[in-house]
A and B are shown apart, each in its own frame.
Chain A
Amino acid sequence: MQNSKELNQDQENSEKLQPTTDFIKRKDKIRKSRNLGDFIFNNLTKFFASLLLLLVILMGFMMYLQALPSIQKFGWGFLTSMEWDPVQENYGALPFIFGTLYSSLLAILIALPLSVGIAIFLSEFSPKWLEGPLSMLVELLAAIPSIVYGLFGMFVIAPWLRQTIEPFLGDKLGNIFLFKGPPYGLGMLAGVLILTIMILPIITSISRDVLKAIPDSQREASFALGATKWETVKIILASGKSGILGAALLGLGRAVGETMAVTMVIGNNPQISTSLFAPGYTMPSVIANEFTEATSDLYLSSLIEIAFLLFILTIILNSIARLIVWSITKKYSKGVEV
Chain B
Amino acid sequence: MMSYYKWRKFKSSAMITLCLISVLIAIVPLFVILLYTISKGVDAISWDFFTKMPKPAGEAGGGMANALVGSGILLGLGSIVGLPVGILSGIYLSENRNSMFASIVRFLTEVLNGIPSIVVGVFAYGVIVVPMHRFSAIAGGFALAILMLPIVTRTTEEMLNLVPASFREASLALGISKWKTTLFVIFPTAMKGVFTGILLSIARAAGETAPLLFTSLGNRFWSTQLDQPIASLTVFIYDYAKAPFDDWNRQAWAAALVLVVIILFINIIFRIISRKR
Name A residues whose Cβ lies closer than 8 Å to a Cβ of B.
Answer: 1, 3-4, 7, 34-35, 37-38, 40-42, 44-46, 48-53, 55-56, 58-59, 62-63, 66, 113-115, 117-118, 120-122, 125, 132, 134, 136-141, 143-152, 154-156, 197, 200-201, 204, 228-231, 233, 250, 253-254, 256-260, 264, 284, 287-288, 291-292, 303-304, 307, 310-311, 314-315, 317-319, 322, 337-338
Contacts of A122 in B (CB 8 A): 23
Name B residues whose Cβ lies closer than 8 Å to a Cβ of A.
Answer: 8-9, 11-12, 15-16, 18-23, 25-27, 29-30, 33-34, 36-37, 84-85, 88-89, 91-93, 95-97, 101-102, 104-105, 107-120, 122-123, 125-127, 146, 149-150, 153, 158, 165, 168-169, 172, 177-180, 182-183, 203, 206-210, 213-214, 217, 234, 237-238, 241-242, 249, 252-253, 256, 259-260, 263-264, 267-268, 271, 275
Query: Looking across the interface, which residue of chain B has its beta carbon closest to that of A34?
Result: B177
Contact call B111/A315, Cβ cutoff below 8 A: yes
Contacts of A317 in B (CB 8 A): 114
- Select one of A49, A287, A288 contacting B105, CB under 8 A: A49
Contacts of B203 in A (CB 8 A): 143
Contact call A151/B237, Cβ cutoff below 8 A: yes
- Select one of A7, A49, A132, A146 contacting B92, CB under 8 A: A49
A148-B259 contact, Cβ under 8 Å, with A38-B178, A52-B89, A315-B115:
yes
Contact call A48/B104, Cβ cutoff below 8 A: no
Query: Looking across the interface, which residue of chain A has its beta carbon closest to that of B91?
Result: A45
- Select one of A3, A45, A50, A314 contacting B116, CB under 8 A: A314
Most buried by B among A1, A49, A113, A152: A49
A-B contact pairs, 24 of them (CB 8 A): A1-B97, A3-B168, A34-B177, A37-B180, A42-B96, A45-B88, A53-B105, A58-B127, A141-B30, A143-B207, A144-B263, A145-B234, A147-B237, A148-B237, A148-B260, A151-B241, A228-B8, A230-B15, A230-B16, A250-B114, A260-B209, A284-B116, A304-B122, A314-B116
